[in-house]
A and B are shown apart, each in its own frame.
Chain A
Amino acid sequence: MITTEAFATIMVYGLITSLVYALFAEGFSLIFGVARMIDAAYGLWYAAAAYMAYALVTVYNVNVFVTFFATIAALFSAGFVYYWAVLRRIKEHIEMIMTTFLIALVIQNLIVLLFTNFPWSTPAVLPGSTVVFGVSVFNQQLSAAVAAAGLLVLLWFLIYRTKVGLAIRGVAQDLDAAVCVGIKPQQTMALVLGLSTALAGLASLLVTPQSTITPVMGWPMLTLAFAIVVLGGLGDYRGTLIAAFVIGYVEIAVQNLVSPLYAGAASLIAVLLTLWIRPRGIFGKSVEH
């Protein structure tokens, strides 16, 4: 029997966790949906953003808001260059996975070289906590959830209500047809990579001030993004959003009702079960297009 307190805890923490997961996974989904690429380095951009922010705030004493925008701009630029310099030249999927995996290792080792693998942390921008429906929530988490919700709406608006979004969807649906109507696919894909990398950075900057940063922090996030995107249907905005909520709530429910040790395994079991029933994922139809 679930107590009212436990139910409220699951609902509140589940919502916060799911929103951040969704923000992070939408970038990964976008890369697959538009560029048909599986970016194994995606989790490491999450780590890179955290370390850049740590260096700017803690080592160079840069203002947090300047740090925030500088980091996002740097991540967007890195994603853009990453596409033009590396990903654009790769044609085979296996080559893509191997190359991006190696880039992930390079980023990780650069982080170790510059910062050691000791856990560091940036101070919370909004310290303390607030009670929401009887549940204590860190202000940092609360602001992360609100920001993630806003950014997800903005992302939806960008993809479904702007000309840039039209170009992105055009490339995702039919590359040749997109070229015929004047869309420049390389520029669009580079833009998508920049946008996705920035989303990974945004998720990182919202969450990590409440936690610690380590060079390997990106790998569990990559697994998470992969699970969400596969569950939701590769490359589908709505599917990714719903899958993020499924995984977020499953994890928090298992943490509170069973044991935190099984939270990660439970979410992966949820993915397997869904794929067993519906192999294309929740909204997998869009992949066929």
Chain B
Amino acid sequence: MNLKISAISRTAAVAVLVVVIAAAAVGGLFLTGVLTPEQQKRQIIIGLSLPLTNPVGIHAKYAAEMAVEEINAAGGVTINGTKYQLVLVAEDTNEMDPLIPVDQGVTAFKRLIEVHGAHVIVGGVRTDVVVAQTQQLSRYKIVYLDVESNQRIVEDLVQSDYDNYKYYFHFFAGGRNSSAGPYIAQIPVALRNAARANPNFPNVTRVALVAENALWTVGLAGRPAGNSTFFQRLKAAGFDLVFAELYPTTQADFSSYLARIKASGAGLIILLFSGPPGVAFVKQWAAYDWSPGKKPIVFGPGLLGGFSWFWDQTGGAAQGTFWWPATVKVPVTPKTVPFIEKFTQRFKETPNTAAFGTYDAIYVLKEALERANTWKGDRLVEAMERTDYVGVMGRIKFDRRHHGLNLADQHLYWYFGQWQNGELVPVWSPDQRDTVRNFILP
């Protein structure tokens, strides 16, 4: 009997000791802050879902850091009278690599929420990744600020399936009211006008289309290539589409394309690219043996084309090519040039479009958080829908029906920039739609 009591006592003593140690450990963890719930630390966590080894993602992250530092230095975000600090966490989606499956982007998105406890997601570059990530929004009820995908698919879904997609806000062009299509359609007209005054121009009424085989080119290029409203309108305006081909995202040699373009007599190439093959195309176009006076002009929506690296990447072969979007140094708003200068001074590189979008997105978010007095998705959406903000890229206005940019007013995405001796020079914008200015032949 004594033995039994003694055994029970020992067991009880060990159990009590274990409980005490465990309680002390847990208490210690709380006291040291390791297990303190994030909201008790008065932080709002912004999850960056970006390709972090690619300059698109790197610049977006730099811009996010700049905005967050500025906001926190100015006192942070005030919610219900309490100051909160913004905190960044990031996951690498690697989405600028075309061979990486969409799943990696979705996993990064989920990790930001489930592992890092993000309250808002900022990111989005590759269209298919953004489409897949946004399918998860209603499950998590989390606001998603898309800073770089060039598509209107999710904006359309906000219209058709509001309850599931209302959390999505688009800070890049290519949306319902921010398509560059009308601008791109006007460029051949402006070039034709310039050609009338300059006999050295190639025949720009003969147009070639070379487009990346990616989801974002479906609307503009059409499938098969050239079968789109855009090209129907171009034909109606007196232009001939004499060559139209897509290229796979792994294409390295464009000799065959260039031979066929030369044979077609095209004087204007519309190049739709966002990845490495566009760089190869421009290098090869520059090296190709064109007949005198017949070297086609190259322009297009080429994401990398408007980046400051493009000149070095092509070894100067980009001379004379012109691109949209182009982060040209134009005072679109009073904030634009100071932002470019501050970013360039700090990171020694000219900010790309992802930097502009991310910087403005963080400030828009800050204002929305203060209007909503919460980071909870549904109420934050309502506050985001009351956005009317003048940022570094232009005016940003959202409402219940419009979760994307509107390029009606002057905007960074108005400008086409031409590479001239290492500088991106603005040569066209819709306020002077019929002419190209300061333009040089390649």
Contact = CB atoms under 8 A, between A and B. Distances in A.
Interface of A: 5-6, 9, 13, 17, 112-113, 116-121, 123-124, 127-131, 135-141, 207, 210-212, 214-217, 219-220, 252, 255-256, 259-261, 264
Given A117-B96, A214-B97, A252-B256, 14 more contacts: A13-B255, A116-B53, A117-B54, A117-B97, A118-B96, A119-B276, A119-B279, A128-B289, A129-B288, A136-B262, A136-B288, A138-B287, A212-B277, A260-B248
7 contacts: A121-B279, A131-B289, A212-B277, A219-B99, A256-B259, A261-B247, A264-B250
Nearest to A120: B313
A119 B252 CA distance: 11
A212 B280 contact: yes
Given A255-B256, A256-B260, A264-B248, A121 B314 contact: yes
B250 A220 contact: yes
A211 B280 contact: yes
Size band of the B side of the interface? 35 or more
Contacts of A116: 53-55, 58
Contact of B257 (A17, A121, A131, A260): A260
A130 B277 contact: no
Contacts of B27: none
A60 B204 CA distance: 42
B94 interface: yes
A128 B256 CA distance: 16
A264 B290 CA distance: 28
Contact of A5 (B248, B250, B263, B289): B263
Interface in B300-354: 304, 309, 313-315
Contact of B253 (A9, A117, A128, A211): A211
Contacts of A211: 252-253, 280, 283-284
Contacts of B383: none
Contact of A129 (B99, B257, B277, B287): B287
B251 interface: yes
Contacts of B279: 119, 121, 212
A207 B284 CA distance: 12
A216 B53 contact: no
From B51, B55, B259, B304, residue with most partner A Cβ within 10 Å: B259
Given A119-B275, A212-B313, A124 B255 contact: no
Closest 8 CB pairs of A and B: A119-B276, A136-B289, A129-B289, A211-B252, A211-B280, A123-B315, A255-B256, A212-B276
B289 A212 contact: no
Nearest to A9: B259
A231 to B, nearest CB: 20
A260 B246 contact: yes
Contacts of A137: 255
Contacts of B277: 212
Interface string B58-96: 100000000000000000000000000000000000101
Given A121-B279, A256-B256, A138 B288 contact: yes
B378 interface: no
A210 B284 contact: yes
Contacts of B276: 119, 212, 214
Contacts of B290: 136
Contacts of B250: 220, 264
A61 to B, nearest CB: 14
A140 B258 CA distance: 16
Contacts of A128: 287, 289
A211 B98 CA distance: 17
Nearest to A256: B256
B58 A210 contact: no
B309 A260 contact: no
A217 B258 CA distance: 22
